[in-house]
Amino acid sequence: MKIFTIGGFSEVGKNMTAVQVGDDVGIIDMGLYLPKLLNYEEGDPRDLPTKHIVRLGIIPDDNIIAQNKGKVKFIAFGHGHLDHLGGAPYLASNYQCPLIGTPYSMEILESLIRDSKKKIENQRIAVNPNSHKIFGKMKLEFINMTHSIPQTALVAVHTKDGTLLYANDFKLDNHPILGKKPNYERLEELGKKGVKAMIVDSLYSRRDGKTPSEQVAREMLRDVLLGTNNSGKGLIVTTFASHIARLKSIIHFGNLLKRKVVLVGRSMHKYVGCAEKIKLVNFSKDSEIYGFSGKVRGILAKINKEREKYLIVCTGNQGEPNAILSRMARDELPFKLNSGDHVVFSCRTIPTPETMENRRVLEERLRKKGVIMFKDIHQSGHASKEDLRHLIEMVNPKHIIPAHGGEAGNKGLANLAVEMGYKLGETVHLVKDGSVLEV
């Protein structure tokens, strides 16, 4: 079995892996590297030729599988985050094979392809979590998992040389707000049958303990939204548009507060729209969603006059200068933030210098206006050290390949593996983008 670590092994982003056994190659994920995309200042880099976008480091360099291009049987996606499928509109047409993932991931992919205006002729296949599909001599399986976006799956590729399990990204949430618990039974079963290699999300491998359930984030939201005095005040919650479980909790508490919940912004409209299309949720029943600029301005002007009657949910939790919250803070929208209004950050600031600076600027503006802030009302979607140990114990893979954690996170997971009896360089492998590993 040959494993091509194409992207996501040297940085946190642009994930892409290929696996080859004989004449069959399978690809898992085709992501974007968001920081490089956001920092590009000469227009939208996605309008450039694909080779150029690769050179900028925004999408993975798939050159190492160029000579096996014709053998690729599928491109599978474990979940719908941009760092896992955002590169597909640019790279998928290099391959003549189907694109496959769970329904929510495939809806998001479809909307990204539409936005990119690229012509992608690959067949699309949506499969439910806990199901499989055969391609050539490979059996591709999607195992139900929890993360911070609906319908996340661990991807298993079963071959005559053994099984590769792709566990990137995941958390082990026993009380999910949306969807089912991880399929522990199946993982244990695979562990008993034997797994050749496992690629693992090592982002928080150096964080002790277990990542708290999404249920904990929900209780934190309950505490802040129902347990503080926001009557008569403006109330805004900002979070990730793709975190549908979190949005579900926010809408629930907004309704308990007897406020009309209004979701605003293009990405809210897009990600909630995808979830409603496949009937995962029906937010339109208990809230209103406005995506396009004219309509957003209209509803915000209305809310501005009766702020005590609404709860605004918007993007901009990372202080992105063009998101709704930053534009409100700069007085560029018809809703004016007043002294005493509440802003709840249901997220964690991603610790890159750019993001931290953006958040600092946003918070300073809010503070000047006398806005009351509640921060870090959040729990992560990534496994901590004890979740990683639990997964390794269940699956008991022969080889471990850390991914998604940058150098430090990957090393953290390697250290844990060594603690558990693996041997560095023999059964746990620290690899960079563009490597080929034979196991």
Provide the binding-site residues for Zn ion, judged by CB under 5 A: 81, 169
Question: Given the complex with Zn ion, which of 341 and 433 has the nearer CB atom?
Answer: 433
Compute φ and ψ for 369, nearest 5 degrees. -85, -5
CB 314, min distance to Zn ion, A: 21
| Euclidean distance between CA atoms 231 and 225, whole angstroms | 11
Q: Which residues have CB under 8 Å from 322's CB, separation 6+?
A: none
Task: Give the burial class of 375: count Cβ atoms within 10 A of its Cβ; 0-12 exposed, 13-18 middle, 19 or more buried.
Answer: middle
SS3 372: strand
CB 13, min distance to Zn ion, A: 10
SS3 185: helix
Asked if omega into 169 is within 30° of 0 (cis), the reply is: yes
Question: Given the complex with Zn ion, which of 97 and 149 has the nearer CB atom?
Answer: 149
Q: Determine the straight-line distance between the first and last CA of the chain, rounded to whole angstroms.
A: 6
CB 236, min distance to Zn ion, A: 25
Question: Given the complex with Zn ion, which of 15 and 287 has the nearer CB atom?
Answer: 15
| Euclidean distance between CA atoms 219 and 294, whole angstroms | 35
Work out the number of other CB atoms within 10 angstroms of the CB of residue 436.
Answer: 14
- The H or E element containing residue 262 is strand 260-264
CB 137, min distance to Zn ion, A: 29
CB 244, min distance to Zn ion, A: 13
CB 81, min distance to Zn ion, A: 4
| Euclidean distance between CA atoms 417 and 438, whole angstroms | 19
Question: Given the complex with Zn ion, which of 12 and 394 has the nearer CB atom?
Answer: 12
Question: Given the complex with Zn ion, which of 81 and 246 has the nearer CB atom?
Answer: 81
Q: Give me the half-sphere count of Cα atoms (radius 13 Å) on the Cβ side of residue 258.
A: 3
CB 382, min distance to Zn ion, A: 8
Work out the number of other CB atoms within 10 angstroms of the CB of residue 320.
Answer: 18
Question: Given the complex with Zn ion, which of 65 and 198 has the nearer CB atom?
Answer: 198
CB 53, min distance to Zn ion, A: 21
SS3 98: coil
266-277 vs 103-116: helix crossing angle, rounded to 10: 140
Token pair of 182 as six digits? 């991880």
Token pair of 256 as six digits? 């308990």
Question: Given the complex with Zn ion, which of 9 and 290 has the nearer CB atom?
Answer: 9
Question: Given the complex with Zn ion, which of 355 and 427 has the nearer CB atom?
Answer: 355
